[in-house]
Structures are given as C-alpha cells and as structure tokens.
Amino acid sequence: MIMSARTDEKIHGGLSLTDSKATYLGLHSWGAAGLWTVIVAVILFWSVYLQRALMDPLGILARPHYIPGYWGYAVLWLSGLAGIVLESIGLEKRTRERTLIEKELRRQQHLFGERGQELSFLHGVAEIAESSSILSAEIVQGIVDLIPQAWQYPKISCARIILEGREFQTEGFSESEWMLNIDILTHGEQAGSIQVYFSGSKPPESESLISNEERQLLETVAKRLGKIVERKRAKEALAYRLHYEEMLDSFSQELLKNRKETLKAAVSHLLKASGASRVYIYENFENADDGLCMRQIAASGAPGIKARKDNPRRKKLPYKDWIPRWQKVLAGGDPVNGAVEDFPQKEREILEAQDIRSILILPIFVNGEWFGFLGFDDTLSKRKWDINDIRLLQVAADRIETFIVRKRAEEALSESEERYRSIFDESKDMILTSSVDGKLIDINPAGAELLGYSSPSELINTQVEDFYYNRSDREHFNRKMAEGSFIKDFEIFMKKKDGSPLFGLETSIEIKESNGNTICYQSIVKDITERMETEKLLWRSNMELVEANEKLKQTQSQLVQQEKLASLGQLAAGVAHEINNPLGFIKSNYSVLKQYLDSITKYIRTIDKQHKDAAEGEADIDFILDDIEALFEESDDGFNRIITIVQNLKDFSRVDFLDKFESYDLHRAIESTMIVAKNEYKYVAEIEREYADIPLIECMGSEMNQVLLNLIVNAAQAIKSQKRKDPGIIRITTRKTPDHVVCEISDDGPGIPTEIQRRIFEPFYSTKEAGKGTGLGLSISYDIVVNKHGGDLTVESEENRGSTFMIKLPIRAKKRETENGEG
C-alpha cells in the first residue's frame, strides 16, 4: 500500500509529500518500541557483566557461571518481558494506524484517480484538439471546465480561456484579485490567454502555493492551444487559397464552356469567392466622338444587390467623362483598389451614387493590349483588398484574357469551320479522311456519289483500297505520304459500286498530333474520268493518226513505185512499138535480101565453074559464100529473139490493159516475166517448172507481172548472195484449188531468219545493201496480191534451206476488194 502510494506520488508529482512522510515516520516509532526495550535490556545486562569481568577478571574466570548475579538476571528477564509487552502493544497500535492510513490512502487515491483521469483527459483533449487541429468552441469550453478540477489547490474558483477574441468561462465565473495568467502564443504573438482565478484575497506568497506541475500543466495546455490556433490559421489560409483556387477552377471551367452566358456564369463564381457585392467585366472600345469608351460585357451581383442591369449607360461609358484617372492606371497595368471615401471627389460622387463603399478594379490585357477590366464592388464595408486577394483575382483576370483570345480564335475558326463544312458538303470533288492503315473515316456526299453510293454512311469504316482498281496503289500512296507528308495530284484509279472506272487526282495531307504522330490523311479527289475519256480519245486518234501516217507513207511510196512501173511499162510498150516497126521492115528487107543473095550465090557459083582458073584468090569465094549463109542464119535467130523480146515487153507492160481486170494466163505471164528477168538468174540458177492445168484468172495483168518479177528476182538474188559454185534452183509450181490458183516460187537460197520473216512485207524494210533495193518490192507485192486481188501472199522459210513464197489468187476477182485496192 505504501509503495502504491509512493508510486502515485511519483506519478502525480508528489502533491501530498509532506503529509505522507509524517505518517510514515510516526508509524515507524510505534512499531519499534518493544524492540528497542529488549535491546536496551540486553545492553544493560551485558554492560554489568562486562564491568565485573573487567574489575575482577580472575573471579569471572574462576566462576564463569556467576556472571551478572541475581539482579542481573532479573533485570534481563524483566526488560525482555517489558520489551515483549511493549512490542505487542506497539504492534496493535500500528495495525490500527495502518488501517486508518489505508482508508485515507484509498480516499486519497480515489480523489487522486479522478483528478488523474481529469488531468489526463485535459491532456488528451488538448492533444486530440492539437492533433486533429479541430478547435471548436465546445472543445475550448471543455478544456476550461476541466481546469478547476485538475487543480490541487482547493480554493480555486473559476477559469477562463480567451482565444482569438472569444471568451470561454467556467460556470459562475467571476474575476478575483488572486489569479494566474498563462498566455497563448502563436508564432510568438499573443493569441489569447488561460486565466485561473482563486477565491479569497491573494496571500503574499500566493505564487508558491501553485505547484510547478500545475503551472506546467496550464502552460502545456496553453502551448497546445497556441499550436492549434497556428494550425487553424494555416489551415484557414490554405482553405482560403483552396477556396480561391476552387473558385478559379470553376471560373476557368466555366470559361471553357461555350455558352452565350459563359462570362456571366464565370463571373458569378468570382462573386462567391471574393465576397464582393458585385463583380463585372468591362470591355474597351473606340468611339469616334468620345474616344475610348467602356461597356459592360458581364456582371453578377450578390443576392439583394442589383447588378445595375437597368443602367443604360453601361452600354457606352466614355472614360473621359467617367473616370479618366482609371484609364491611365489600368492601361499601365495597375489595379484601382480601396475604400471609395479615400478616392478623389469626382470618383466618389460617381461611385457612392451606386452605394459602392470599396472597389477593386483589375485591368485585363489581351495579347498585350489593354482590353478592359474586371471589377469588384463592396457595398457593405470599406476596405482595401490585400495583396493576396489581388494576386489571386488577377489570375482570374488573366484567365479572361485566355477566354477572350480563345473566343476570338473560335469565332474566326467557326467562321472558317462553317465555310469548310460547306465546302465539304457542297464540293463536287470527293473529300475524304482516311486513317494511316486505310480506313475510311469520313467522306463527303460528293465522294459517295462519285463512287456510286447514295450516302457517305455506306462507305465510312470501309477500306479505301477496296475502291482502288489496284489495291497496291495504296502502298504507293503510303510510300509517297511517308516521303513528304503530302501528295499532290496522285492519280488514283478507282472503281465505282457498279465496277465502272473512276479516275481521280488525289491531293492529300497528313494530319499530325502535336507529338508528331500521324492521325489521319486528308484528301481531295478530283474526278478526271471525263477528262481521261477525252484524253483517251485524243490518244487513240493520235495513235491512229500515227498509224494512218505510216500507211499513207507506205501507200505513197507504192503509188510512186507503181507510177514508175506504169511509166516504165508504157515506155517499154512505146519502145517495143517503135522497134517493132523498123524491125518489121528490116526483117522484110532482110528476107528479100536473102532471096537476092540466094540468086546471086547461084549465079556466082555458075560463073565460078566456067572460069575456074581465071584468077588467083578466087579460091576464097566459096568460103565467103558459105559464111554469108551462116551469118544470115545467125541474124535470123537474132531477129527472132528481138521480135520475141519486143513481143514479151508488150505483153508484160500490158499497156492497153493497165489497172483493169482482164483474163490472165498465169503460165504465159510467168514465161514473159522469166524472159524479162533472165539477166538476173541466168548465171546463178536453173529454172524448174511444174505447171498444173490451171484456168485463166481475172487479174490485173501488169500488176501481177510485177509481183512475179519481184519474187523471181528476189529468189535469184537470194541465191546469188550465197556466192556458191553450183547453180541454185528456182522452182515455179502452179496448182489449182476450187476457187483459187496457187503459184509457188521457191529457191534453195539462204532462207529468211524467223525474226525478220514478219517484217519483210513492211515497206522500206530491206536486207539488201544500200542502193540495191528499195525495200518496197515485197510490200508492193503484198499490197497487190492481198489488197488489190483479195488473195494471199505468204512466206515459209527455213534458214539455209531456202524460202517459198506462195501467191494465192482467186479465179474470179473479188470486185469489192478491187475497188478498195484502187481507192
């Protein structure tokens, strides 16, 4: 119990130390009385014994059992007895005392416990309040109420806490002369105090009556309250900032909205935050008569405060009439701030007329130019907005700048957006947006229509390359886009819904995110199908023109050649005719001359017999006469040959039948041609003829002779080109088919390489050395046989084995072909 009491003392700072010490000592003396008695008795006994022993040590030694003597024993026993009695009495008393003490202790402890609880409660409350930084009036009141109870000094009567201008008192508080004051400090400044009032008059040593512990307790509480206030203030400041920021946030949020009343709604947020009665925005504008004017563009008033809507002048207030001073201040970027009563007289009149007691005007700048101002009226109190308020509200003013800039941009944009939208919708060109991987994101109605669809919605989300004729063209497109971020006049070849082609010229740009990633491609496709169609016709006619030109050239040269041949034929016929005449009389004369010569010969021979020996040298006359005969025979042969040639020339040229179909004997024609061409072949080739029984055909004789001549001469020249020793063979065969007569002219020459076989009929194509051929022979032959006669001219050839040209002619001429040929 004692120990526990001591423990309590320790815990509670030894509040009852004096008392408990006294009790302890008293308790001790009573309990030890008996013991002391016994100890004294023993000492006495032994002191007597020792005295004797000292005085008569021998007697003691001689009689050791005789030590204290009778009285000695008696004293010893008595004192022992007395000790025991005393001890038992002391014990009893001690027990009784202890019970009392224990009772007292228990009471004390009880009291102590309550106080302890209260004390710790007081601590706790202060602690809780501190930790949670909640400082409600209830908590402070609770703390005040606990103070008297926590007080050891009995005469304490009441307490109060003064904090931030508020007072919290215990019940029935009254001030007294004797008090203890502890200041509550925040950041070293007094924020309030804790006061404890004691009943009765103040004793001189009153301070010492208050224990350190009690003072410390109060100081702790004061410190804690101070801290709470500090925190509360910090928190309030934070809340204030947060509040402003929240306001600015909602203000900014409001500004982001795109409504008609955006500014007004935004301004109403400022109203709540600033605690002003009215908030408004004015915008400057130039007026020709009044110079710079202002007009209200948004305003908001606290409930009960009119927003001056009725003021007609808010539409136009010239600065010079109104408040010229502000123009300078605001244009210079400074605010107008303060209580109206401190303002110049003129301004006061204007402002006080509107019940404005304090005013804050913040300039608004847009793109560095003074745009107008944001104003705050306070109709209730006169004050000056502090720098923090101004700083925060200036942020709001700056946000208005962003809003105005954005709004201006939006206006400009929406105008262009509208314009672009109408371009998109109304354009006759296809406008489309596609993703990088080719998904069609958007297409205008014209685009859908061009592709043969009724509405763009049918196309959106399809793949662009689905409409490409060649899907891989998209790869080319992508590659081009990747190269330069744009593509100009890319020709795309698309197919419509019905499969018909659509030619487009596509111009595309890349739409990029701010980080550089491509979002999509924007393309305009111009339909050039029609243009393409025209171009196509142009090209075709161009190509046809080229071909016609070629044909013309060919025809022209053929005509020239034919003309040449015809002239030649005419010439030949003329020559033949002219030769024929003298030939006729020469031949006739020659015959007569021969007859004459025969007669002369007969006569000479007769004379010769009669005058055999008449003269020397006459022996030769026989030889002469014989030779004359031979000469005549040879001449005869020559005449015949000339006559045949002339006749053939006449036959070949067919002067009388030029360009007219006539009955044509192919065999006879071949023979005539052979004679004309004899010079070409006679040394290089032998002619083999295999004639079948063929009918006469309808043919343009002179033309066909030309063909035969060409083929025979070509065959001879081909053989000749080989420069071989043995003569070659030119075989001419004829045969008949039901409707045609076929003539084949073969040679065993070098043949024609396959590559040029198809070209040999082309005009001017020649394998002969320059000057040796015109390159027209076969092409003219082809024209005569195929075009003029409706026949066929083909070649079969094998290199080093020879060539065979086959002429196939209809027996009866096809008149239409003829006409074409002649035309």
Partner 1 sequence: MTKKMMVPNPGMNTGSSGSNDITGFEEFNKRDIGVTLRGTFVKGSSLKVIIEVDGYLDNVNSTHFMETVAKVIQENASIKTVVIDLLKISYISSTGIGALSNILIQTKKTNIVLYLINVGRKVRSVLDTLGMTGFFNIVDSEEGNAG
806: left (phi over 0), alpha (psi -120 to 50) or beta: beta
Instruction: Name the minimum Å distance from CB 768 to partner 1.
Output: 16
Report the C-alpha gap between 265 and 676 in whole angstroms. Answer: 117
Q: Which is nearer to partner 1, 521 or 661 (CB)?
A: 521
Q: For partner 1, which stretch binds (CB under 8 A), given 41-49, 60-68, 192-200, 542-550?
A: 542-550
What residues have CB less than 8 Å from 680, skipping those under 6 apart?
712, 713, 716, 717
Q: For partner 1, which stretch binds (CB under 8 A), given 231-239, 334-342, 619-627, 752-760?
A: 752-760
Q: How many residues bind partner 1 (CB under 8 A)?
A: 29
Q: Which is nearer to partner 1, 469 or 632 (CB)?
A: 469
Q: Which is nearer to partner 1, 415 or 489 (CB)?
A: 489
Instruction: Name the minimum Å distance from CB 570 to partner 1.
Output: 33
- Tell the burial category of 763 from Cβ atoms under 10 Å away from its Cβ (0-12, 13-18, 19+): buried
Instruction: Name the minimum Å distance from CB 546 to partner 1.
Output: 5
Instruction: Name the minimum Å distance from CB 540 to partner 1.
Output: 6
- In the region spanning residues 758 to 817, those forming contacts with partner 1, defined by CB under 8 A, are 758-759, 762, 764-765
Binds partner 1 (CB under 8 A): choice among 512, 540, 612, 682: 540
Q: Which is nearer to partner 1, 635 or 766 (CB)?
A: 766
What distances in angstroms separate CA 377 from CA 175, 280, 305, 340, 357, one per listed residue? 45, 9, 10, 10, 8
Answer yes or no: are the C-beta atoms of 665 and 811 closer than 8 Å: no
Tokens at 217, concatenated = 């307790």
Instruction: Name the minimum Å distance from CB 761 to partner 1.
Output: 9
- In the region spanning residues 450 to 469, those forming contacts with partner 1, defined by CB under 8 A, are 469
Q: Which is nearer to partner 1, 473 or 747 (CB)?
A: 473
Instruction: Name the minimum Å distance from CB 296 to partner 1.
Output: 60
Instruction: Name the minimum Å distance from CB 537 to partner 1.
Output: 8
- Amino acid code (one letter) for 347: E
Task: Using the structure block, give the residue that is written with the tokens 């209730």.
Answer: 380
Q: How many CB atoms lie within 10 A of CB 413?
A: 12
Instruction: Name the minimum Å distance from CB 467 to partner 1.
Output: 14
Q: Does 534 bind partner 1 (CB under 8 A)?
A: no
- In the region spanning residues 466 to 525, those forming contacts with partner 1, defined by CB under 8 A, are 469-470, 472-473, 475-476, 489-491, 493, 501, 503
Alpha-carbon Rg for the chain, nearest whole angstrom, is 74
Answer yes or no: are the C-beta atoms of 376 and 275 closer than 8 Å: no
Binds partner 1 (CB under 8 A): choice among 189, 616, 755, 769: 755
SS3 (DSSP) at 563: helix
Q: Which is nearer to partner 1, 489 or 739 (CB)?
A: 489
Query: One symbol per residue from 545 to 574: x for binding partner 1 (CB under 8 A), - otherwise; what is it?
Result: -xx--x------------------------
Query: One symbol per residue from 418 to 447: x for binding partner 1 (CB under 8 A), - otherwise; what is it?
Result: ------------------------------
Instruction: Name the minimum Å distance from CB 777 to partner 1.
Output: 17
With b for 16 or more beta-carbon neighbours within 10 A and e for fewer, the 565-594 pattern comes to bbeebeebbeebeebbeebeeebeebeeeb
Report the C-alpha gap between 11 and 645 in whole angstroms. Answer: 167
Instruction: Name the minimum Å distance from CB 480 to partner 1.
Output: 8
Binds partner 1 (CB under 8 A): choice among 536, 660, 724, 815: 536
Q: Which is nearer to partner 1, 503 or 652 (CB)?
A: 503
Report the C-alpha gap between 184 and 186 in whole angstroms. Answer: 7
- Amino acid code (one letter) for 30: W
Instruction: Taking each helix axis as running N to C, give the angle between helix 621-653 and helix 529-610, from 0 to 180 degrees, rounded to the nearest 10.
Output: 160
Q: Which is nearer to partner 1, 4 or 470 (CB)?
A: 470
Q: Does 542 bind partner 1 (CB under 8 A)?
A: yes
Instruction: Name the minimum Å distance from CB 766 to partner 1.
Output: 11
Q: Which is nearer to partner 1, 438 or 701 (CB)?
A: 438
Instruction: Name the minimum Å distance from CB 270 to partner 1.
Output: 60
Q: Which residues pair with 375 in a beta bridge?
A: 280, 361
With b for 16 or more beta-carbon neighbours within 10 A and e for fewer, the 418-453 pattern comes to eeeeeebeebebbbbbbeeebebeebbbbbbbbbeb
With b for 16 or more beta-carbon neighbours within 10 A and e for fewer, the 475-504 pattern comes to eebeebbeeeeebeebebebbeeeeeebbb
Cα 355 to chain centroid distance, Å, stands at 59
Instruction: Name the minimum Å distance from CB 470 to partner 1.
Output: 4
Report the C-alpha gap between 687 and 746 in whole angstroms. Answer: 10
Q: Does 532 bind partner 1 (CB under 8 A)?
A: yes
Q: Which is nearer to partner 1, 473 or 703 (CB)?
A: 473
What distances in angstroms separate CA 102 from CA 96, 234, 766, one per listed residue? 10, 52, 153
Task: Using the structure block, give the residue that is written with the tokens 């196509």.
Answer: 536
Binding site for partner 1 (CB under 8 A): 469-470, 472-473, 475-476, 489-491, 493, 501, 503, 532, 535-536, 539-540, 542-543, 546-547, 550, 754-755, 758-759, 762, 764-765
